[in-house]
């Protein structure tokens, strides 16, 4: 029996040795790819979210400001000294016995292992000291915001939870699996590097768990029109009668449209069909070099305006409701101003979700956008004609680095686990490219110049636009924890727009707060108010809190504006706008 066990052990060792050899060979190739990627970024051949010169300038400005105010510096030194003392106390086991709430250290082993506990407590004390220093930076300076943002990135990277030697849970798993977790983690790391061709493309979701059109975006519909920029989908009704006024969904073109049609239980499209609406959706193309010259005005004319023409032909209705999500909402807002200027009142009502109109304070995302970065981006896209999808994906991940970067570093690489299946993260990783003409105009005119809120600052198709001239009834949703469209930068629409406005502040963030369907156990609430004071803080203080999803509230708002019903409309099988292909269409699945 002993000989059999020994033989089995030898076989297992041989297998693991062979596996390690394969991984070593893959690691050498991946290392070469990483070096090539790093050289390309350093030389400017590849676009980088931040350059060393800009970062050095920001930290130089920070220290100059600190040294120019000795009293502030002394106060900061005192605060930092207090935290440093706490750090030393923690190092020698004299720290507080209160439970640590930081979810990076939720595993009980962080408290049970005295060495790991010391690492944890020292790190947290240093992090508090750093936060105390950064909290004293004056607002309004982009250099100070960069210092705060990138210092936080460095602190997050330094967490002992990110390293095998200091992470007790990962070490325990290493021992329990007899090294299997380490090999699996290395395999996960190499797979991510290979997928990114030298760039670490961290897997946040089981890439085999969902298939668009099979598990996601399954609501029945037909593509009934397409052009160079979009396919227009008409969905089959789920009620015998429908509201006379159809509704057009205009999603963001930074990601795919199916965020609005995930699984049946959290599909906003399906929900609206069940409320008796005729639903049409724009599915944007994933741009290639051929789309390099498509600008923001092209997205308007070949996107929602072209779709509205088709919808009017199909339904016979002169007016339609329209919804825009994120940058799709910015396009809808600009389109409303354009239509107001030319005297076209084809929009019955407009809804925008997580859509900024005031870019004065865009939050941390502003660290990535300035004149220098714009010039670097312009140079990068001159030959390719577009910005690769991963740049924006990396940027959004850095805004929530603990959740979207380092938590996966720990689970995927240190513990050798595969990411779980999660529909929202699956969609989040399915990003799209952005054509150069559109992106450069948008970043310069809307983002940097804040042109959307300035009368006549923006021009579309030769027409200067002014959003204060919009008289269309507007429903505006913002979410409290949105790190992409901060709700305080969405709220000014209540003042800028010239017509009736219904502003709703939902819970959670940019995606989860929007895709928040009605359920028996509500996740988030939402806030409304009969009046809109100038200050968003005053709105929050006076607003009424409602439990559950904002979706039914929005449906009631739409219902109040359209009491007329018609027999349910189905996509045509013949005629000018006959079905081209079944939803979700081919544009959404194109790489």
550: CB partners within 8 A, 6+ apart: 477, 504, 506, 516, 526
Average pLDDT, the chain: 90
- The yes-or-no verdict on residue 363 having pLDDT over 50 is yes
pLDDT band at 40 (very low <50, low <70, confident <90, very high): low
Q: How far is CA 99 from the centre of its chain?
A: 32
Q: How far is CA 4 from the centre of its chain?
A: 55
Q: Can you tell me the mean pLDDT for 444-464?
A: 95
Q: Spell out the alpha helix ranges (H) of 92-167.
A: 109-112, 114-135, 142-158
Q: Cite the beta strand spans of 346-440 per DSSP E.
A: 347-353, 386-387, 434-435
Q: Can you tell me the mean pLDDT for 240-264?
A: 96
- The neighbour count for residue 11, using CB atoms within 10 Å, is 10
The catalytic residues are: 326
Sheet harboring 347-353: ordered strands across? 544-546, 526-528, 501-506, 474-479, 347-353, 320-325, 247-250, 279-284, 230-235, 221-226, 581-582
pLDDT of residue 4: 56
Report how far residue 586's alpha carbon sits from residue 573's, in angstroms, rounded to the nearest whole number: 18
pLDDT of residue 83: 66
- The yes-or-no verdict on residue 96 having pLDDT over 70 is no
Helix axes 52-67, 70-91, angle to 10 degrees: 110
Q: By mean pLDDT, which of 28-42, 222-236, 243-257, 433-447 is the weakest?
A: 28-42
Residue-wise pLDDT tens digits, 255-282:
999 999 999 999 999 999 999 999 999 9
Helix (H, G, I), strand (E, B) or coil at 52: helix
Contact 315, 247 (CB under 8 A): no
Q: By mean pLDDT, which of 137-151, 219-233, 541-555 is the weakest?
A: 137-151
pLDDT band at 1 (very low <50, low <70, confident <90, very high): very low
Helix, strand, coil proportions of the chain in percent (round to 5)?
50, 15, 35
pLDDT of residue 182: 92
Q: What does R_g of the chain's alpha carbons equal in angstroms? A: 27
27: CB partners within 8 A, 6+ apart: 186, 190
Contact 259, 511 (CB under 8 A): yes
Report how far residue 314's alpha carbon sits from residue 273's, in angstroms, rounded to the nearest whole number: 17
Residue-wise pLDDT tens digits, 152-210:
999 999 999 999 999 999 999 999 998 899 999 999 999 998 888 888 899 998 888 99
pLDDT band at 23 (very low <50, low <70, confident <90, very high): confident
Residue-wise pLDDT tens digits, 488-504:
999 999 999 999 999 99
Say if strands 526-528 and 347-353 run parallel, antiparallel, or are unpaired: unpaired
Contact 470, 444 (CB under 8 A): no
pLDDT of residue 230: 98
DSSP tag of 411: I
Report how far residue 216's alpha carbon sits from residue 231's, in angstroms, rounded to the nearest whole number: 18
Q: Which two tokens stand for residue 272?
A: 């609206």
pLDDT of residue 110: 94
Report how far residue 79's alpha carbon sits from residue 64's, in angstroms, rounded to the nearest whole number: 19
- The neighbour count for residue 541, using CB atoms within 10 Å, is 10
Helix (H, G, I), strand (E, B) or coil at 3: helix
Report how far residue 374's alpha carbon sits from residue 366's, in angstroms, rounded to the nearest whole number: 12
pLDDT of residue 43: 55
Region at 449 (left for phi over 0; alpha for psi -120 to 50; beta for the rest) = alpha
Contact 378, 501 (CB under 8 A): no
DSSP tag of 59: H
If you search the block for the tokens 């991510």, which residue do you land on? 192
Q: By mean pLDDT, which of 30-44, 136-150, 200-214, 454-468 is the weakest?
A: 30-44
Sign of CA dihedral 76, 82, 88, 90: negative
Residue 259's nearest CA partner among 479, 399, 397, 426 is 426
Look at 525 and 1; give whichever has higher pLDDT.
Answer: 525
Say if strands 565-567 and 241-243 run parallel, antiparallel, or are unpaired: antiparallel
Q: Which two tokens stand for residue 286?
A: 């994933």
Q: Which two tokens stand for residue 459?
A: 């021009």
pLDDT of residue 140: 66
Helix or strand run (H / E) with residue 578: none
Q: Can you tell me the mean pLDDT for 51-73?
A: 79
pLDDT band at 573 (very low <50, low <70, confident <90, very high): confident
| Number of residues assigned to the chain | 591
Q: Can you tell me the mean pLDDT for 73-78?
A: 71
Of the spans 64-73, 355-364, 374-383, 535-544, which averages the highest pLDDT? 535-544
Q: Can you tell me the mean pLDDT for 566-579?
A: 93
Residue 290's nearest CA partner among 140, 436, 85, 180 is 436
- The yes-or-no verdict on residue 121 having pLDDT over 90 is no
Bridge partners of 501?
474
Residue-wise pLDDT tens digits, 370-419:
888 888 899 889 889 999 988 888 999 999 999 999 999 999 999 999 99
């Amino acid at each position: 029996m002993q000989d059999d066990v020994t033989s089995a052990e030898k076989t297992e060792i041989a297998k693991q040795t062979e596996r390690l050899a394969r991984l070593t060979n893959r690691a050498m190739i991946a290392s070469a790819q990483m070096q090539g990627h790093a050289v390309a970024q350093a030389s400017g051949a590849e676009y980088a979210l931040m350059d060393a010169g800009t970062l050095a300038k920001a930290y130089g400005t920070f220290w100059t400001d600190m040294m120019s105010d000795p009293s502030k510096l002394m106060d900061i030194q005192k605060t930092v000294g207090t935290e440093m003392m706490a750090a030393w106390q923690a190092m020698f086991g004299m720290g507080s016995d209160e439970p640590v709430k930081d979810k990076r250290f939720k595993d009980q082993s962080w408290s049970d292992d005295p060495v790991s506990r010391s690492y944890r407590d020292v790190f947290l004390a240093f992090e508090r000291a750093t936060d105390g220093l950064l909290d004293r930076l004056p607002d309004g300076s982009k250099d100070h915001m960069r210092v705060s943002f990138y210092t936080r990135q460095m602190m997050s990277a330094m967490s002992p939870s990110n390293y095998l030697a200091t992470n007790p849970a990962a070490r325990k798993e290493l021992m329990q699996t007899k090294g299997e977790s380490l090999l699996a983690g290395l395999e996960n790391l190499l797979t991510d590097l290979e997928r990114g061709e030298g760039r670490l493309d961290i897997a946040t979701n089981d890439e085999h768990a969902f298939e668009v059109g099979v598990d996601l975006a399954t609501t029945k519909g037909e593509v009934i029109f397409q052009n160079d920029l979009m396919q227009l989908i008409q969905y089959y009704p789920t009620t015998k009668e429908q509201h006379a006024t159809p509704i057009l969904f205009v999603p963001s073109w930074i990601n795919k449209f199916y965020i609005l049609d995930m699984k049946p239980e959290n599909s906003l499209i399906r929900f609206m069909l069940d409320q008796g609406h005729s639903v049409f959706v724009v599915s944007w193309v994933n741009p290639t070099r051929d789309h390099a010259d498509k600008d923001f005005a092209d997205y308007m004319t070949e996107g929602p305006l072209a779709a509205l023409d088709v919808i009017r032909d199909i339904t016979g209705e002169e007016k339609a409701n329209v919804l825009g999500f994120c940058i799709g909402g910015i396009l809808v807002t600009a389109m409303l101003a354009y239509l107001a200027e030319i005297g076209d009142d084809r929009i019955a009502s407009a809804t925008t979700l997580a859509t900024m109109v005031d870019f004065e304070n865009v939050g941390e995302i502003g660290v990535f956008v300035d004149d220098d970065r714009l010039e670097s981006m312009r140079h990068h896209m001159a030959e390719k004609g577009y910005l690769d999808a991963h740049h924006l994906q990396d940027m959004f991940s850095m805004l929530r680095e603990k959740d979207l970067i380092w938590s996966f570093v720990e689970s995927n690489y240190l513990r050798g686990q595969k990411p779980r299946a999660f529909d929202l993260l699956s969609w989040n990783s399915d990003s799209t490219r952005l054509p150069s003409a559109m992106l450069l105009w948008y970043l310069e005119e809307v983002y940097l110049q804040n042109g959307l809120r300035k009368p006549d600052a923006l021009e579309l198709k030769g027409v200067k636009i002014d959003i204060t001239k919009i008289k269309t009834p507007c429903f505006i949703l913002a979410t409290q924890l949105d790190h992409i469209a901060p709700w305080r930068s969405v709220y000014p629409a209540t003042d800028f727009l010239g017509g009736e406005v219904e502003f709703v502040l939902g819970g959670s963030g940019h995606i989860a707060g929007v895709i928040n369907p009605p359920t028996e156990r509500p996740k988030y609430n939402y806030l409304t108010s009969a009046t809109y004071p100038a200050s968003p803080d005053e709105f929050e203080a006076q607003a009424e809190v409602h439990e559950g999803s904002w979706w039914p509230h929005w449906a009631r708002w739409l219902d109040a504006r359209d009491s007329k019903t018609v027999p349910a409309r189905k996509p045509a099988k013949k005629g000018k706008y006959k079905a081209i292909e079944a939803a979700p269409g081919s544009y959404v699945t194109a790489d």
